[in-house]
Amino acid sequence: MKKKNMTVSRYFKRYLKRCVTGPVSLVMGLSVTLKYFFNPKRIVTEQYPENKKTLKMHPRYRGRLEMIEDAEGNNKCTACGMCEKACPNASINVLATKNIAGKKVLGRYEYHFGSCTQCGLCVEACPFGAIRMSQAFEVATTDPTSLDMILNKKEGQG
């Protein structure tokens, strides 16, 4: 803003101009805040713990991984390991076992929530639609070991 070859008259012209435009601009700014202050309708706050009942995530929201189970707790997983391979940081362990007929079925679907990035690549990769991203978002815990979860309740079918 500093110009060396500024004449006195120009300096004062600028000075006076700023004396006028300055306060005007400040009042304009103030008018915006006053408008917002006196208009409680503009408040956009969502009060989380109080609005728990009405708070709903979008249907596509990617919370934590969960297994799709029917009423009896059976899942559709065949332990093919596609999700495991798709997972960018090996947060999923598909641990297969043999059932009584000697066929490879899902034994334990271990999921490391602590390192999961919720990218949804596993759901995309699953050929049988056995897993989905849940809507859970209240997931804070004081115990980090509880973040290593087992998702399936039952062994896989087969």
CB 71 within 8 A of CB 154: no
Of residues 29 through 68, those in contact with another protein by CB under 8 A are 29-37, 40, 42-49, 55, 58-62, 64
Q: Which residues contact 104 (CB under 8 A, 6 or more apart)?
A: 79, 96, 97, 98, 158
Give which of 57, 60, 59 is closest to 48, Cα–Cα.
Answer: 57
Binding track over 130-149 against another protein, x by CB under 8 A = ---x---xxxxxxxx--xx-
Of residues 80 through 109, those in contact with another protein by CB under 8 A are 84-91, 93, 95, 97-98, 100-103, 107-108
Q: How far is the CB of 153 from another protein (least distance, A)?
A: 16
CB atoms within 10 A of CB 146: 11
Cβ proximity to another protein: between 53 and 60 the closer is 60
Cβ proximity to another protein: between 67 and 91 the closer is 91
